[in-house]
Structure 1
Amino acid sequence: MNTLLPRQLRGFVAAGGFATLFHWLVMAALIAAGLEPVLATASGSVSGAVLNYGLQRRLAFRNAGPHRVTVWRYIGSCFGAWFCNLVFFFLLNNVLALPVTLSQIVTTGLVAALNYTVYQRLVFHEQTR
């Protein structure tokens, strides 16, 4: 079946979509419980990252190296993505005064583009012998 997007990119989008929904659900629940939005998005980001690792390996990066290698690379990339998520959200929401929802949508798009490149080139790249 010929599609417009390569299988890897489709898998990345699907896995990231599920993980992002989970991130946003956690974030919304924490905001509803009274937590400050920046802390809520930071917590949601960590929750989504845990789910995302398994989904990315299964749906997008099937030829990745062994878990003992990729999980550590993934954790390192998560720290970078978590920090970028926090900085982008803070700048959009607190400095530019955009609403929470718009700030998170823009932040998610920026971090997703960064993540695809990092996953493809550093985290899940196929191991050579």
Structure 2
Amino acid sequence: MSDLLVARRFALYAGVGAIGTGTQYAILIAMVRSGSASPALSSMVGASVGAIVNYGLNRRITFRSNSNPLSTAPKFAIIALLGVLATGVCMKFFATSLEFNYLIAQLVTTALVLGLTYLLNSAWTFND
């Protein structure tokens, strides 16, 4: 795959992911402000909902996959679960250990998890 195609696909992945990320941030902010949960747990809940939103969009738009959804959905779910766990670890580290504001911690976490999940989904989930 050419570098241009990889860059285009990553831009699509990030753009499509912005919809799920918006969902994640809304849940994060609502849960933290209401005192329902810690930033780490709130972010993990938001990431879980965002992953559901992102599956269909990535399958159709980013990767234009013709693979059977019964094959790709479980793989995407495993990658999403890894992303949710990575989100929890990163948020705990940045927001608690380093005492970043939870929204700053979320921005850094989002960038890290975006790169990780893109690489894994490209190599495994949607590798036609």
- For the criterion TM > 0.5, the same-fold answer is yes
Aligned residue for 1:22?
Answer: 23
* Alignment RMSD: 1.7
Out of 101, 108, 114, the residue aligned to residue 99 of structure 1 is 101
Out of 35, 54, 57, the residue aligned to residue 55 of structure 1 is 57
CA contact (8 A) 1:22 1:47 kept: yes
Structure 1 stretches of 4+ moved >6 Å: none
Equivalent positions of 1:1-129 (< 5 A) are 6-35=7-36, 36-126=38-128
Instruction: Percent identity, please.
Output: 25
SS state of the match for residue 89, structure 2? helix
Higher helix fraction (1 or 2): 2
Residues 6/113 of structure 1: CA separation in 2 closer, same or farther (3 Å cut): closer
- Residue 5 of structure 1: how far off its partner (Å): 7.4
Task: Name the CA distance, whole Å, in 2 between partners of 1:100 and 1:55.
Answer: 27
| Aligned residue pairs, count | 124
Task: Name the CA distance, whole Å, in 1 between partners of 2:14 and 2:69.
Answer: 21
Structure 2 residues without counterparts, runs of 5 or longer: none
TM-score of the two chains, using structure 1 as the length reference: 0.89
